Amino acid sequence: MDNKGEIIELALAWAEAIVSNDAAAIGAFMADDWVIIGPDGATAKADFLGLVASGDLTHDMMRTVGDARVAFYSATAVYTSRVINNGHIRGQRFAADEWTSDVFVRDGTGWKCVLSQVTPAAQGPADID
C-alpha cells in the first residue's frame, strides 16, 4: 500500500523549494515533460523555471489550506489541495487562492510531478498577503 503521508511531505517540500525561488531545487521535483495548466493555458517546465531563474517569477509565501487529498493509481499519485500563495510576476505583486492538483509518477528514482493544474478558488480566506 502506498503512503499518503509520503506524497503530502513531497508536496510540502516542493512548496518550500518554490518559496526559495531556486529554479534547480524546484525542477528537482518535476519530470522533464512537466507542464502546468492554469487559466492562461499551459506552461512547460523550461518556461516556468526560466521565469524563476530570471527573477521574473518569485514566491514569498505558499501554504496549504485545510486537508489535502491523495489518491493512488498504481505508480501514479494525485495530490489535490487548496493553496494560498503570493509573490511577484514580472515586477507585479500577486496573491492567489487556488485549488491545485499535482500528478506524481513513481519511477526508479522516486516520485516526479508530470502535471500540475491550478484553478482559482471561488471563495477563499482573506489572509493571502
Instruction: Using a pLDDT cut of 90, give the percent of the chain over it.
Output: 90
Mean residue pLDDT across the chain? 94
- For residue 126, the model assigns a pLDDT of 43
Taking the model in full, what pTM does it have? Answer: 0.91
- For residue 112, the model assigns a pLDDT of 98
Confidence of residue 123 (pLDDT cuts 50, 70, 90): confident
The domain segmentation of the chain, as residue ranges, is: 4-120
- N-term to C-term CA, the chain: 39
Tell me yes or no: is domain 4-120 CATH 2.60.220.10: no
Mean pLDDT of 15-24: 98
Record the cell numbers describing residue 114, joined without a space.
508530470
Instruction: Concatenate the DSSP letters of all residues of 69-114 into one string.
Output: EEEEETTEEEEEEEEEEEEEETTEEEEEEEEEEEEEEEETTEEEEE
- For residue 58, the model assigns a pLDDT of 98
Spatial separation of the C-alpha atoms in residues 125 and 18, rounded to whole Å: 21
The model's pLDDT over 69-99, given as tens digits with 9 standing for 90+, comes to 999 999 999 999 999 999 999 999 999 999 9
- For residue 127, the model assigns a pLDDT of 47
User: Do the beta carbons of residue 58 and residue 78 sit within 8 Å?
Assistant: no
Spatial separation of the C-alpha atoms in residues 23 and 56, rounded to whole Å: 12
